[in-house]
């Protein structure tokens, strides 16, 4: 439901912000933004969250911030299925930065700003539709199938985004892309929540998020310069790739970024295939018992020594 709420906000906010910028002054928009932030903080201060039931692992990890962070890391590394899934998503995040950074300049290379607004709204609509699908359907019984299957489609949609300089086809591909992203994220979150004790999730999820996001700066450092200084000049009308790749995907402004989308989609699908072939990732739900059921087994124990 959290993802669904974020999807609705990403769908409504761009249009509302555009209207407010035109109808009011920038200072008024900043004031409204500050008021909504203040409302969110006050809401969190008022709500009382129930304390999760204590587990042996959670009790053993209590201590300093460094100790708790170390125990969160140990929890993941001692479970090959979770650590493999973490590496898989870090790689996919690294590749996904292409869409986050280059979608807007790519669309503006062949369409107007109004069309860009519609395509950005399509991304929010995709997140909303994906959230509704997962809220109603819940995904397959084996969550790893929804994760790997939807990420495979994410790679395919990424390729389709870069294939043609068409606003309609790009908008459809973006819509499907974000539907699949939402299904994948929902399945991944549900899997992690079922495998980690509730009172230990804060430590593990903080470490999980840190690893996921650490791939983004590296992607930012590589993606934009590669598109601007290498691929775009190569696919100009007289560029180095104009007579080869350009004969297939076209030449001119934006086609270098399009080629990067295509390459990113191919690598995305290859990463998913490698993950699917890894038995620890593919069988993570079989080898690791659900934490919420109280099951025990050789993989449900954790040794967390105090950091030196």
Domains of the chain: 50-293 (1.20.1250.20)
* Tally of CA atoms within 13 A in the half-sphere of 283 that contains its CB: 8
Specify the pTM: 0.82
- At residue 122, what are phi and psi to the nearest 5 degrees? -65, -35
| Residue 308 pLDDT greater than 60, yes or no | no
Backbone φ and ψ of 241, nearest 5°: -105, 5
pLDDT top residue among 258 and 136 = 258
Rounded mean pLDDT, 251-260: 95
Tokens 């430590």 label which residue? 203
Number of other residues whose CB lies within 10 A of the CB of residue 171:
21
- Return d(Cα 191, Cα 139) in angstroms, integer: 11
**What is the residue-averaged pLDDT of the chain?**
85
User: What residues contact residue 223 under an 8 Å CB cut-off, 6+ apart?
Assistant: 97, 98, 101, 102, 260
Tell me the helix, strand and coil percentages in the chain, rounded to 5. Answer: 80, 0, 20
pLDDT value, residue 61: 65
CB 271 within 8 A of CB 99: no
Nearby residues of 95 by Cβ (< 8 Å), 6 or more positions away: 158, 219, 264, 267, 268, 271
pLDDT digits (tens, 9 = 90+) for 155-201: 999 999 999 899 999 999 999 999 999 999 999 999 999 998 887 88
- Res 1: pLDDT: 55
Q: In the numeric block, which tokens belong to residue 230?
A: 């290498």
Quote the pLDDT of residue 305. 46
Decide if pLDDT at 257 tops 70.
yes
3 state SS of 96: helix
Q: What is the pLDDT of residue 295?
A: 42
Place of tokens 């292409």: 98
**What is the biggest distance separating any 2 CA atoms in the chain, rounded to whole angstroms?**
66
What is the C-alpha separation between 269 and 129, in angstroms, rounded? 23
231 CB-near residues (< 8 Å, 6+ apart): 241, 256, 257, 259, 260
Instruction: Give the per-residue pLDDT at 32.
Output: 85
Residue range 84-92: mean pLDDT, rounded: 94
pLDDT average, residue stretch 28-39 = 86
Model pLDDT, residue 301? 44
Asked if residue 300 lies in contact with residue 291, where contact means CB atoms within 8 angstroms, the answer is: yes
Q: What is the pLDDT of residue 183?
A: 94
Confidence at residue 300, expressed as pLDDT on a 0 to 100 scale = 42
């Amino acid at each position: 439901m959290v993802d669904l709420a974020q999807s609705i906000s990403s769908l409504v906010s761009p249009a509302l912000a555009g209207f407010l910028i035109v109808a009011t002054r920038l200072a008024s928009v900043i004031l409204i933004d500050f008021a909504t932030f203040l409302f969110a903080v006050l809401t969190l201060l008022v709500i009382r969250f129930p304390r999760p039931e204590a587990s042996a692992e959670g009790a053993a990890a209590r201590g300093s911030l460094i100790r708790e962070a170390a125990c969160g890391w140990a929890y993941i590394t001692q479970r090959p299925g979770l650590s493999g899934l973490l590496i898989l998503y870090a790689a996919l995040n690294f590749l996904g930065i292409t869409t986050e950074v280059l979608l807007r300049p790519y669309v503006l290379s062949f369409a107007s700003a109004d069309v860009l607004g519609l395509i950005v709204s399509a991304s929010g609509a995709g997140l909303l539709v994906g959230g509704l699908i997962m809220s109603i359907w819940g995904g397959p019984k084996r969550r790893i199938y929804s994760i790997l299957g939807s990420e495979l489609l994410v790679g395919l949609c990424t390729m389709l985004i870069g294939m043609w300089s068409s606003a309609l086809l790009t908008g459809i591909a973006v819509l499907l892309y974000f539907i699949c992203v939402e299904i994948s994220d929902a399945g991944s979150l549900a899997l992690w929540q079922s495998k980690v004790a509730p009172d230990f999730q804060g430590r593990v999820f903080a470490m999980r998020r840190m690893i996921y996001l650490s791939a983004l700066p590296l992607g930012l450092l590589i993606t934009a310069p590669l598109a601007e200084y290498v691929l775009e000049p190569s696919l100009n009308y007289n560029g180095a790739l104009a007579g080869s790749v350009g004969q297939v995907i076209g030449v001119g402004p934006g086609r270098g970024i399009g080629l990067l989308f295509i390459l990113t989609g191919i690598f995305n699908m290859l990463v998913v295939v490698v993950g699917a072939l890894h038995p620890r990732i593919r069988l993570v739900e079989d080898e690791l018992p659900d934490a919420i059921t109280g099951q025990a087994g050789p993989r449900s124990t954790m040794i967390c020594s105090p950091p030196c």
